[in-house]
Amino acid sequence: MQAAAAMTDQATPVREPVYQLRNVGKTYARNAITALEGVSMTLTKGSFSSVIGSSGCGKSTLLKIMSGLIPPSTGRVVLQGRPVTGPRRDIGMMFQQAVLFPWRTTLENIVLPIEIRDGKAAAKAAEVQARELLELVGLKGFENTYPSELSGGMAQRASICRMLITQPAVLLLDEPFSALDELTRDFMNMELQRICTSRGATAFLVTHSIQEAVILSDVVYVMKPRPGRVAEVVPIDLPRPRTLDMMTTPKFGALVEHIRSALDKEAFK
């Protein structure tokens, strides 16, 4: 079914919207601080979007709203036709750290979301899917390994599995590889692309790295602080699948330059 969806996506340029934000704003301290103002975006099915901006531009606030951790002050947040009013099973989340629990094996960590939502029996049943996911991310054979024996990259692969186990409609990625070294990070980004493509996943990435945003995304949202807002939407029309070699092409360089100057304008104002 996912494969079919991916094929129609390629055939028709208009894609089905999955996650829609309309004029979303967030104020703190009794409206004294505006963290986010008038953010509108539409994530279409199977697309990869990134948001980039300096610290304090409201991107983490945006991510918290999108994951249902905090409510917005204004605006509409709609996932798959239903307003987001709290954490939901169709929202997958990945953090800067892998957040694996050391007393659980890799497999037990991955089925944790099922265990929380549906109980132990369902978690046991989900181990079949968990094993498939482990194979997808290249961690086959590590089912019964404890996280302390996994490297940073392997731990993040496991946390990808945990995110995917509930078959979420949208993947929210909060600087998922920023704690890894640069070589591992580039490699993991390519892995992420492969995994997202194979699952037809709709992904939303928050990052500090312009290169990372450009190489992975179909759309990059450039955010600016005070108040946090989307300043520019940059479509990335590099062909897919993306490769690390593309990072040396003039087109890639031009896109990175464009985004950098968009960010700099604010930083030195």
Partner 1 sequence: MSNLETIADRSPAAEDDTVWTEHSSWIDRVPRAIQMLFVFVVFVLLWDTVTRFGFVSPIILPTPLETFNDLIFVGKNLVTGGYMLPALWITLKEVFYGFLLAIAIGFTLGVIVGETAFGERAIMPYLVAIDTMPKVAFAPLFVAWLGFDIDSKVALAAFIATFPIIVGTAAGLHAADTNSRNLFKTMGATRWQTLVKMKLPMALPQVFTGLKIGSVGVMAGAITGEFLGGGKGFGELIRTAASQLNTPRVFSLILYLSVIGLGLFAFVSWVQRRFVFWHKERVSAGGE
Binding-site ranges for partner 1 (CB under 8 A): 67-69, 86-89, 91, 93, 95-97, 99, 101-103, 112-113, 115-117, 146, 148
Question: Which of residues 94 and 210 has its CB atom nearest to partner 1 in the complex?
Answer: 94
Question: Which of residues 207 and 211 has its CB atom nearest to partner 1 in the complex?
Answer: 207
Question: Which of residues 70 and 190 has its CB atom nearest to partner 1 in the complex?
Answer: 70
What is the residue-wise DSSP string for 134-202? HHHTT-TT-TT--GGGS-HHHHHHHHHHHHHTT--SEEEEESTTTTS-HHHHHHHHHHHHHHHHHHT-E
Minimal distance, residue 103 CB to partner 1, in Å: 5
Minimal distance, residue 92 CB to partner 1, in Å: 8
Question: Which of residues 96 and 197 has its CB atom nearest to partner 1 in the complex?
Answer: 96
Alpha carbon dihedral 140, 88, 218, 234, in 10-degree steps, equals -140
Minimal distance, residue 111 CB to partner 1, in Å: 11
Minimal distance, residue 155 CB to partner 1, in Å: 12
Question: Which of residues 170 and 216 has its CB atom nearest to partner 1 in the complex?
Answer: 170
φ/ψ of 260, rounded to 5, equals -60, -45
CA distance 228 to 35: 5
Question: Which of residues 88 and 258 has its CB atom nearest to partner 1 in the complex?
Answer: 88
Locate tokens 């590099």: which residue? 238
Minimal distance, residue 144 CB to partner 1, in Å: 14
> What Å distances lie between residue 136 and 129, 161, 194, 198, CA to CA?
10, 9, 9, 9
Minimal distance, residue 255 CB to partner 1, in Å: 31
Q: Report which DSSP code applies to 29.
A: T
What stretch of H or E contains 20?
A: strand 17-28
